Amino acid sequence: MTDLSQLEAEISGRIAQAADLAELDAVRVAALGKSGSISELLKTLGAMSPDERRERGPQINGLRDRAGQAIAARKAELEAAELDARLAAERVDLSLPAPPERRGRVHPTMQVMDEMIAIFAAMGFGLAEGPDIEDDFHNFTALNFPPKHPAREMHDTFWLPEDANGERKLLRTHTSPVQVRVMQAANGKLPSWIAAGQQPPIRVVIPGRVYRSDSDATHTPMFHQLEGLVIDRTIHMGHLKWTLAEFTKRFFETEAVVTRFRPHHFPFTEPSAEMDVQCDRSGGAVKIGEGSDWLEILGGGMVHPNVLRNCGLDPDEWQGFAFGLGVDRLGMLKYGMPDLRDMFAGDPRWLAHYGFSAFAAPNPATGLS
């Protein structure tokens, strides 16, 4: 009996001292495992006389049960302590102010681009795109810029270094070269990856980035244009004027816009014109429908017969108009930004102020958000 009481005291002491679950398990194995001290005692029961077994049996079984219960109780205690420690260490302090939520804004240029495309789409225009890196042929020659003509310099072109074939590519100075690509594709002369399946009659708008070495309040080295091209059999200047007047009204969502057409010269149109919007730029913001300033927003005209010919279209069969709109400038006018350079400075405060929510209610004029 003494040996059993001693063993029990010893096991109880070790259970109480077990500092963690692993130590406790070691105590369990040493007592109740296959060859644990209590298990070994249980094995001796078989060899005992019935009388001896009747006496020792309950004592040893009692010891086994109490040790088992003590281990289970200590285990629950240790697990609770472990949970408490984790809860204390991993506590979330709900009184901390929430970190500011960073919400992306739609850049005004992209907003304006989408609005413009939606307006032209509603008028039946399709969409085409072309590469930013162009060759001399598409950017100038096919557009009827004579070789070495000063008009080429008019664009302050960014030229790229000569390539392996001795050719100097350039960053396109306008979106007009895509007109050439669209007409060539329509003519079946070039792979039509730009305007798949376009056949004359053509009615497309061409949005994109353009580049010129120029910088002031209304010029940046990179800006955006939206080119328009309509080619059909009986297109005339009246169609061009109506299209642009109608576009302007829908874009500004008001009849108060005052525009003027000025005769101009472009090598690729004849006759050619520029269109200005009346505005006031005297304060910190641009206002339309008032003031004595005129901001040029587009060039346009009737596609020059040489351009049609250069693109493989017969000018006796096809004619049309083209125009190039300044996307960022239209954004300045509509949303009152005084300096074009701010649009590309990448200042998040500017974007927070002038940017658009990607989830805004649809614009009633365009159906776009």
**Interaction between residue 323 and ligand DAH (CB under 6 A):** yes
Q: Is 138 in the site for ligand DAH (CB under 6 A)?
A: no
DSSP for 116-162, please give it.
Answer: HHHHHHHTT-EE----SEE-HHHHTGGGT--TT-HHHHTT---BPPP
By CB under 6 A, tell whether 177 contacts ligand DAH.
no
Among 38, 322, 327, 337, binds ligand DAH (CB under 6 A): 322
Q: Which two tokens stand for residue 295?
A: 């901001």
Residue 134 interacts with ligand DAH (CB under 6 A): yes or no: no
Q: Which stretch binds ligand DAH (CB under 6 A): 16-24, 112-120, 121-129, 318-326?
A: 318-326
CB 297 within 8 A of CB 276: yes
Beta strand spans in the chain (E): 126-127, 133-134, 170-171, 202-211, 222-232, 259-266, 269-280, 287-288, 293-303, 319-326
Q: What are phi and psi of 41, to 5 degrees?
A: -65, -40
Q: How far is the CB of 162 from ligand DAH (least distance, A)?
A: 25
Which segment (22-30, 320-328, 332-340, 352-360) binds ligand DAH by CB under 6 A?
Answer: 320-328
For residues 204 and 194, the answer to whether their CB atoms sit within 8 Å is no
> 174: which 2 tokens?
């306008």
The only residue of 36, 108, 267, 299 in contact with ligand DAH, by rule CB under 6 A:
299
Q: Angle at the Cα of 235 (from 229 to 238), degrees rounded to 5?
A: 95
Q: Is residue 301 close enough to count as binding ligand DAH by CB under 6 A?
A: yes
Residue 269 near ligand DAH by CB under 6 A: yes
Largest Cα span, the chain: 128
Nearer to ligand DAH, 269 or 366 (CB): 269
The least CB distance from residue 144 to ligand DAH, in Å, is 11
Q: Quick one: which of 208, 227, 244, 354 contacts ligand DAH (CB under 6 A)? A: 227
Q: How far apart are CA 132 and CA 253, in angstroms?
A: 31
Sequence-distant (6+) residues with CB within 8 A of 113 are 207, 224, 226, 327
Q: Please identify which residue in 109, 139, 176, 310 interacts with ligand DAH, judged by CB under 6 A.
A: 176
The window from 12-20, 188-196, 319-327, 331-339 that contacts ligand DAH (CB under 6 A) reads: 319-327
Residues that bind ligand DAH in the complex, under the rule CB under 6 A: 174, 176, 227, 266, 269, 272, 299-301, 322-324
